[in-house]
Amino acid sequence: MLSLSDILRQIFQSIWANRLRSFLTMFGIAWGVASLLLLIGLGEGFRSGQTRSLKELGSDVIFLEGGNVPAVPNQHTGMRAYKVTLSDEKAIMEQAPHVRNATAVVSRGDLKQVSEFSSAGGQALGVEANYPEIRNLPLAKGRLLDAEDVATARRVVVLGKKNAELLFPEDRPAVGAYITINGERFLVVGVAAGISRGNNDGDNQKVYVPISVMLQSFPLKGENIPADSVSSIQYQPATEELNETAKTEVHRVIGARHGFDPLSKDAFEEWDTIKNNKMVGVIFTAMDLFLGAVGIVTLALGAVGIVNIMLVMVSERTKEIGLRKALGATNKSVMAMFFLEGLLLTGVSGAVGIVGAGTLMSVLTAVAGTNTNGFDPPRLVPWSVALAVGTLTISGCLAGLVPARRAAMLEPVEALRKD
C-alpha cells in the first residue's frame, strides 16, 4: 500500500504534467475567492465609514428644526415659517418622557473672528453646557463651556482645531488669549481636538460660545420670530429603539406650543441619525448577502471546473489506474490519490485568493489612507473568510470525491484494455 508521501509525490507529478490546465483552474478559484473577499471588504469599509461619520456627529442624535405650518390654525390657505425656541427645548425635557437629553443650538455663519494675528470666518455656535454630552466635541486644550458660563453670559469661546490654527501662530497659545467676534471681545478658554477627516473639516472651523451670549449679541435674523429662537434642538431618545416614540412626543410638544397639528407633513425639518444608521446597515447587509451569494456561485463554478478536469484526468489515466490495481493498489489508495488531488487544487488556489485579497486591501489602505470622509479602507472580514474557507472545503471535497470514486470503481482488466 502506498504511503501518504508517495501519494502526495504522485499528485504533484500529475499536477506538474498538466500544469497549464491546473494553473488555469486554480486561477479561476483564486480569482473568485479574492473577488468575494474584496467586494465584501469594500462594502464593510463603506459601512464602517458611514457609521463613523455619524458617530463623529454624536451618539443617537435627532436634529429638529422649524418648518412650515398654516398661517391660520386649521386652515391650509397659506403657510408660515416658524422657529423652534430655547423654551421649546425646556418643554421637551419636561413633557417628553422618552427623551433622555436635549440641547438647543444657535448657528450663525456670517460672524467674523479676529485675533491680533489673523482672522477667520468659521461657523459660530451658541451652545448650552450639555452640548458635549450629545454632540462629539473632544477637548485638546483648556476647558469646555460650563453651566456658569451660560447662566452669567460670560464672553468666553472654545475654538475649533482649524480656527485655532488660523487665528494663532504655533508659538502663541490660544487659551488665555482674546479674540473678537463681530467686534465683541471674547476670552479663549479652550481648543477642541480634531473631529473630522480629509477635506471635510467644517466642524474643525467652528467656534463655540454660550447660547445666552449668542441670543443677546447675535440672535437669529428674521421677522416676527421670538427672541429666544434657535437654529435647532438636538435630542437623544431614551434608547435607540424608542426613537420613533421620542419623535412623536417631541412633535406633540412643539405642535401644542406653536399651535399646529403635529402630524402636519411640512411642520418639521428633521434628521434622525438612528434611523439613518439603521438604513445604512440594512443596505450594506443586503449588499453583503448579494455579494456573498455571487461569491458562492463563483466558487461553485470553479469546483465544477475542477470536477471536470479531474474526470478528464481519470479518463486519461485509465490504463495507469488499471496497472496500479493489477499490481495491488487498493480502491482506498486510488480513491485517496484523486480525492487529495482535487482537495489540494482547491485549497491552494483558495489560500492564494485569500492572501491576494489581503495584500490588495493593504495596498489600497496605503494608497487611499484613512482620512477619506465617509469611507474606511477595505479589510478582510472574518465572516467572509469563514464563508470562503467553508465553501472551498465543500467544493474541494466534491471536486475530489466524484472523480476519485469513479477511478476506484474501475476494474483492472477493463482499464488495461482501454486505448
pLDDT tens, position by position, 118-167: 999 889 999 999 999 999 899 999 999 999 999 999 999 999 999 999 99
Whether residues 118 and 255 share a domain: the answer is yes
The helix/strand count (H/E) of the chain reads as 13, 14
The whole-number pLDDT of residue 235 equals: 96
Whether residues 394 and 286 share a domain: the answer is yes
In a domain, 21, yes or no: yes
The whole-number pLDDT of residue 416 equals: 56
**Distance, C-alpha 169 to centroid of its chain:** 36
Distance of alpha carbon 47 from alpha carbon 374, whole angstroms: 9
The whole-number pLDDT of residue 363 equals: 82
Alpha-helical (H) ranges within 168-210 are none
| Residue environment code for 177-201, b if the CB has 16+ CB neighbours within 10 A, otherwise e | bebebeeeebebbbbbeebbbeeeb
Whether residues 256 and 182 share a domain: the answer is yes
Mean pLDDT of 180-201: 84
DSSP state of 377: P
Residue span of the structural domain in which 86 resides: 68-267
Whether residues 369 and 234 share a domain: the answer is no
236, 267, 298 — which closes off a domain? 267
DSSP 330-362: -HHHHHHHHHHHHHHHHHHHHHHHHHHHHHHHH
230 within 8 A of 83, measured Cβ to Cβ: yes
In a domain, 120, yes or no: yes
Q: Which tops the pLDDT comparison, 106 or 361?
A: 106
| Residue environment code for 157-168, b if the CB has 16+ CB neighbours within 10 A, otherwise e | bbbbbbbbbbbb
In a domain, 366, yes or no: yes
Whether residues 50 and 191 share a domain: the answer is no
Given phi > 0 = left and psi -120 to 50 = alpha, else beta, which region is 183?
Answer: left
Whether residues 197 and 292 share a domain: the answer is no
Distance of alpha carbon 85 from alpha carbon 226, whole angstroms: 7
- Compute how many other C-beta atoms are within 10 angstroms of the C-beta atom of residue 392: 25
Whether residues 361 and 403 share a domain: the answer is yes
In a domain, 110, yes or no: yes
Distance of alpha carbon 131 from alpha carbon 210, whole angstroms: 10
Contact partners, residue 115, CB within 8 Å, separation at least 6 = 167, 168, 177, 178, 179
Whether residues 238 and 108 share a domain: the answer is yes
Give the phi and the psi of residue 104 in degrees, each rounded to 5. -105, 145
244, 267, 290 — which closes off a domain? 267
In a domain, 106, yes or no: yes
Whether 371 shows a pLDDT value over 90: the answer reads no
Whether residues 258 and 378 share a domain: the answer is no
Whether residues 190 and 238 share a domain: the answer is yes
In a domain, 368, yes or no: yes
Distance of alpha carbon 355 from alpha carbon 253, whole angstroms: 57
Is the overall model pTM greater than 0.75, yes or no?
no
Mean pLDDT of 284-307: 74
Q: How many structural domains compose the chain?
A: 2
Confidence of residue 400 (pLDDT cuts 50, 70, 90): low
Which residues are 62's β-sheet partners?
A: 235, 272
In a domain, 412, yes or no: yes
Residue count (the chain)? 419
What Rg, from alpha-carbon coordinates, does the chain have? Answer: 34
In a domain, 89, yes or no: yes
Whether residues 240 and 134 share a domain: the answer is yes
Whether 291 shows a pLDDT value over 70: the answer reads yes
Distance of alpha carbon 374 from alpha carbon 6, whole angstroms: 55
C-alpha cell at 227: 427672541
Whether residues 308 and 403 share a domain: the answer is yes
267, 298, 333 — which closes off a domain? 267
Whether 240 shows a pLDDT value over 80: the answer reads yes
